[in-house]
Every structure is written in structure tokens, then in C-alpha cells.
Amino acid sequence: MADPFKPARFTAHLDVDDEDEAGMDVLTAIHARRAVRDYLDEPVSEAQLATLIDAAIWAPSGVNLQPWCFFVVDDLDRLAACSTKAKAALKEAATDHPELAGLRSMLASPDFNIFYNAPVLIVICATTADEMALKDCCLAAQNLMLAATAQGLGSCWIGLSETWLNTDRAKADLGIPAGFRPVAPIIVGYPNGGSPPPARRPADIRRVAKAPGV
């Protein structure tokens, strides 16, 4: 049986005539993507996960080092346990950071799942401590989220979980090597309903004048 996480070639770079086979146009995916926080109780297939991760690894990276690793958590009991631990870590951090005080009531609710009951969490980790590796992982995350949209899936970057994920205890729990750095925790699943397009401010574009004498 083939390894579902062995990178396959993502259809975006293939010469495909059939529009359905080619998938969603990239600009459509960019405008359709939403931060989804409500999911159906429906699993994401391993073939879909393989496609998402393959899309992610086609992101650009500095000197083509591709300094990323993808940790997939799709066991619901484990995800629930991770949510509990992440909430506890954030509540503890809130005592030292007044700006997080508004989160306390939400974190105190036993009904609040920090991963919004999504069926899958993909943690994109930088495999080096280099600052550029963090940026490379962010580029990979955007590819992954756009690929999810193109497949009819929702996604959301769960920044609230990063406090816990970057602890030694969390790394040990998830099998993340000590030298790796969790950068992008992305949940994925089928959206429970649609979301209206968020308001966008006009782009702030400032044209740089030609150099004198040029």
C-alpha cells in the first residue's frame, strides 16, 4: 500500500485541459478562503491530506532548503486532550499578560475546544532555528490553506495553541524533536455552513519615485 503522505505531484503545476480536474483557480481560492471555526463531524481522507501537504511543500523557501516538517493529529481523543492542555497553558500565560485577560472566560468554558472540534490538526514545524525557516513555513501554510479551499475544505490557523505547542512538554507529547519549532498550527475539515466575506481595507500602495537623474 502506498504511503499517503509520500509527496505526489499537485495538479496545479500539471498541464490539465479539464477544468474540473485542474481544480479551483488560484485567485478564486484566495478570495474564497475563510478562517473556519465550525466543522462537520466528517473525516478528511488521507488522500486529501496528502494533497494538502504536497501543495504546502511546493511553497518557495530560502535557498530551496525546504525547512519544514508536518505533524498530523487526526485522533479526536488526542485532539481533545491537546485542546485541554493548550487552554491551560494559555490561562497560565494570561496571568502575566494583561492583554490576554479577555480570553479567560472563554478558556474557562469546558465546552470551548481550542481546535473548534476540527477532525485534523496539521502542525507545520521549522526544522532549523533560522529566522528564514519561520517565514518559509508561513508560505507553506498559505499554500496548504488555499489547497484546502480548492478541495471544499475549511481551515484556520490556531494561534492560541502556539503557547502550548512551543513547550517541551507539548513537543514530547506530539513527538516533535526538541530542535524543531512549531510555527503554523492549521486545523482542517468540512465547514458547517458558509461564512460571509470579511471586509477588506483598500490596499495601501505607495509608489516609489524614480531616482533623481534616472
**In CATH, what number is assigned to the domain containing residue 113?**
3.40.109.10
Query: Can you spell out the DSSP letters for 71-84?
Result: EEE--HHHHHHHHH
Query: Can you spell out the DSSP letters for 118-171?
Result: -SEEEEEEESS--HHHHHHHHHHHHHHHHHHHHTT-EEEE-GGGHHHHTSHHHH
Query: Sorting pLDDT into bands at 50, 70 and 90, what band is 150?
Result: very high
Contact 82, 115 (CB under 8 A): yes
**CA angle in degrees (0–180, nearest 5) for 168-171-172:** 85
What is the spatial distance between Cα 135 and Cα 66, in angstroms, rounded to a whole number?
11
What is the spatial distance between Cα 121 and Cα 186, in angstroms, rounded to a whole number?
6
User: Is residue 214 one of the residues assigned to a domain?
Assistant: no
- Domain coverage including residue 123: 33-189
Its pTM stands at 0.87
**pLDDT, the chain, mean:** 89
- In this predicted structure, which of 52-56, 90-94, 98-102 has the lowest mean pLDDT? 98-102
User: Is residue 89 one of the residues assigned to a domain?
Assistant: yes
At 61-80, the pLDDT tens digits run 999 999 999 999 999 999 99
pLDDT at 3 over 50: no
Contact 155, 38 (CB under 8 A): no
What is the spatial distance between Cα 99 and Cα 92, in angstroms, rounded to a whole number?
13
User: Is residue 213 one of the residues assigned to a domain?
Assistant: no
Domain count, the chain: 1
Residue 143: which of 37, 38, 4, 29 has the closest Cα?
29
